[in-house]
Amino acid sequence: MAAPEGVEVTGPLHERYDEILTPEALSFLATLQREFGARRKELLAARAERERKLAAGGTLDFLPETAGVRSDDSWRVAEPAPGLEDRRVEITGPTDRKMTINALNSGAKVWLADFEDANTPLWENMIGGQLNLRDALDRTIDFTDPKTGKSYALKADEELATIVVRPRGWHMEEKHVLVDGQPMSGSLFDFGLYFFHCARRQLAKGRGPYFYLPKMESHLEARLWNDAFNLAQDTLEIPRGTIRATVLIETIPAAFEMEEILYELRDHSAGLNAGRWDYLFSVIKKFRSRGAEFVLPERNAITMTAPFMRAYTELLVRTCHKRGAHAIGGMAAFIPSRKDPEVNKNALEKVRADKTREANDGFDGSWVAHPDLVPVCREVFDGVLGDKPNQRDRLREDVQVSAADLLAVDKTPGEITEAGLRNNIDVALRYLATWLGGNGAVAIHNLMEDAATAEISRSQVWQWIYNGVTLKEGQQVTKELVGQIMDEELATIRAELGQAYDEPRYNQAVALFKEVTLADEYAEFLTTPAYERMP
């Protein structure tokens, strides 16, 4: 395969990879990387500097230098693009072949085609996923399950969900593609390949190239995306504003810059999403060393009715509708059980209550992780929206949220128990073992776990050790206690899996878990050292 000057592909070139990694596509990637790579690193350094200030006792607040953007009531984001007017139910999942077909056929309005938290950045996943998306748009995709013999094929185009691609966050790199000797941005790699190969294919279907943007921490990071969009559109001679992007508000710094983020992307904006699991991870991460005031109860005790979570979601709806943008709710992670109807009944009641709260709060749609939850979410939003495509006209002018409201972590009810500690360790070990094997969306105890929930689990354990938290049962959380429980949970997993227990993979998971929970220095992202362990 010929590569442009200064571009080197170090990943293996499997069948059909030359269809994606063409010289023209690689040249396009190099253009993006050379233009924006340095700015990306500067913005990541700014994140680190803000974190140092928070660790030293600083706080977060709405930015005085952008007060003019917030107070100017005249600006609005672009009107919804084709296929994004009605987003009452969205399904998320990785871009493997079977999921691509099932998600598009699911009855959801939108499919978040995920190269990020529900995926692992295994080289084969990243290029295979691009092939699957292109094949889906060309209607040349099919799949036969080798275990069951069941075949999968796409429904008619008019019945398919709108594809919205989630590239990796700004912190990730693609180590298998070097530009001028340096790994390129994972964000620009994922975005660039999809845009290069599929933008015109999407437009020919009457839709467009649409994206979900993860892990952002500031409006300057949104500005970088906007500039990348403009360069990409200009380079391929596609009109500016054709791209549309929904930003996940899943870091606590971004919650203080929602209006500014919409403003930076206003010609390309498709709204904001309440990425609640990563948001919890961000709260823990940013204030991990600040003492009891910022220690949350165990993961399963934190609900969306906690005051700081209510403040965040209500502000998101208010902000979006003030600017004419969609507000999309959080994930329902429940995976239906084929064996236990009682588990299903109780879980579906919780899903229905969660979606009802979101619909009544003014959200225009919400996320589910499994096709069986699409009808539940759709029914709830149908009940509120009726024939309307959204409720952007519901301005929620009653909402008044202060910085103190967003930071009221200490008002969260709940406990920290031995069972909660064990659950964090168990989930993290199971997830990491599967992640390292190339699968980033893992059903564990009837919940779809992705990188965000694993991040919460390991970050809580680190924070509890650092702050010397005492469990409800009276034990202090120490490195020794965590090590002991880890051994016990591992033995339970081994006994449960029997012959299916993958010893080398779990040994890798244990080593990685120790690295990100027992080390004195906190690892910014679990996925960074995990990626280093991948081929």
Residue 126 and residue 239 share a domain: yes
Per annotation, catalytic residue among 86, 114, 278, 450: 450
Contact 453, 330 (CB under 8 A): no
Buried b (16+ CB within 10 A) or exposed e, 39-70: bbeebeeebeebbeebeeeeebebeeebeebb
Residue 419 and residue 399 share a domain: no
Residue 157 and residue 192 share a domain: yes
Integer CA distances (angstroms), 127 to 14, 176, 183, 184, 376, in order? 9, 11, 16, 15, 33
Residue 397 and residue 505 share a domain: no
Residue 245 and residue 387 share a domain: yes
Asked whether residue 1 carries a pLDDT value surpassing 80, the answer given is: no
**Considering its fold, how many domains does the chain have in total?**
2
DSSP state letter for 160: S
Residue 451 and residue 388 share a domain: no
Residue 250 and residue 393 share a domain: yes
Q: What is the pLDDT of residues 464-479, one digit of tens each?
A: 999 999 999 999 999 9
Strand ranges in 49-132 using DSSP code E only, listed in sequence order: 89-94, 110-114
Is 40 an annotated catalytic residue? no
pLDDT of residue 288: 97
Q: Is residue 326 part of a domain?
A: yes
Residue 422 and residue 371 share a domain: no
Give the bridge partners for 94, in sequence order. Answer: 114
Tokens read off for 74: 């005249």
Per annotation, catalytic residue among 40, 97, 166, 318: 166
Q: Is residue 74 part of a domain?
A: no
Q: Is residue 228 part of a domain?
A: yes
Residue 486: which CATH number?
A: 1.20.1220.12
Domain end marker among 404, 425, 458: 404
Q: Is residue 79 part of a domain?
A: no
Asked whether residue 2 carries a pLDDT value surpassing 90, the answer given is: no
Asked whether residue 82 carries a pLDDT value surpassing 80, the answer given is: yes
Contact 461, 482 (CB under 8 A): yes
pLDDT band at 416 (very low <50, low <70, confident <90, very high): very high
pLDDT of residue 519: 95
Which residues constitute the domain of residue 276? 7-63+84-404
pLDDT of residue 181: 98
- Cα-Cα-Cα-Cα dihedral of 444, 446, 449, 455, to 10°? -80
Is 166 an annotated catalytic residue? yes
Once rounded to an integer, what is the mean pLDDT over residues 8-28?
98
pLDDT of residue 336: 86
What is the phi/psi pair of residue 121, to 5°? -80, 35
Domain end marker among 383, 404, 425: 404
Q: What is the pLDDT of residues 251-298, one digit of tens each?
A: 999 999 999 999 999 999 999 999 999 999 999 999 999 999 999 999
Q: What is the pLDDT of residues 507-522, one digit of tens each?
A: 999 999 999 999 999 9
Mean of pLDDT over the chain: 97
Once rounded to an integer, what is the mean pLDDT over residues 133-149?
95
Residue 315 and residue 216 share a domain: yes
Element holding 178 (H helix, E strand):
strand 173-179
Share of the chain above pLDDT 70, in %: 100
Buried b (16+ CB within 10 A) or exposed e, 399-431: bebeeebbbbbeebeeebbbebbbbbbbbbbbb
Asked whether residue 530 carries a pLDDT value surpassing 80, the answer given is: yes
Cα separation, 119 vs 172, in Å, equals: 13
Domain end marker among 382, 404, 426: 404
Phi-psi category of residue 505: left, alpha or beta, with phi > 0 → left and psi -120 to 50 → alpha = alpha
Secondary structure class of 154 (helix, strand, coil): coil
pLDDT band at 340 (very low <50, low <70, confident <90, very high): confident
